[in-house]
Structure 1
Amino acid sequence: MRYQAFTNDSLTMMYEAVRGALAADDAVEREGGEPKFKVRDTPDWKKHAADLEAEMLKRGMNFSVIEWHEGQEKLPFDWSGRDRVRRQ
Structure 2
Amino acid sequence: MYEAVQGAMAADDALKRQESETKFRVRETPDWRHHAADLEAEMIKRGMMFEVIDWSEDQGTLPGL
- TM-score category of the 2 structures, normalised to the smaller one: 0.7 to 0.9
TM-score for both structures, normalised by structure 1: 0.66
Structure 1 spans left out of the alignment, 5+ residues:
1-13, 81-88
Choose from 10, 24, 43 the match for 2:30. Answer: 43
What SS does the corresponding residue of 1:40 show, helix, strand or coil?
Answer: coil
Residues matched between the structures, number: 63
After superposition, the CA RMSD in angstroms is 1.5
* Bigger radius of gyration: 1
User: Where does structure 1 differ by over 4 angstroms across 4 or more consecutive aligned residues?
Assistant: none
TM-score for both structures, normalised by structure 2: 0.87
Structure 2 spans left out of the alignment, 5+ residues:
none
Percent sequence identity over aligned pairs: 63
Distance 2:56 2:5 in 1: 14
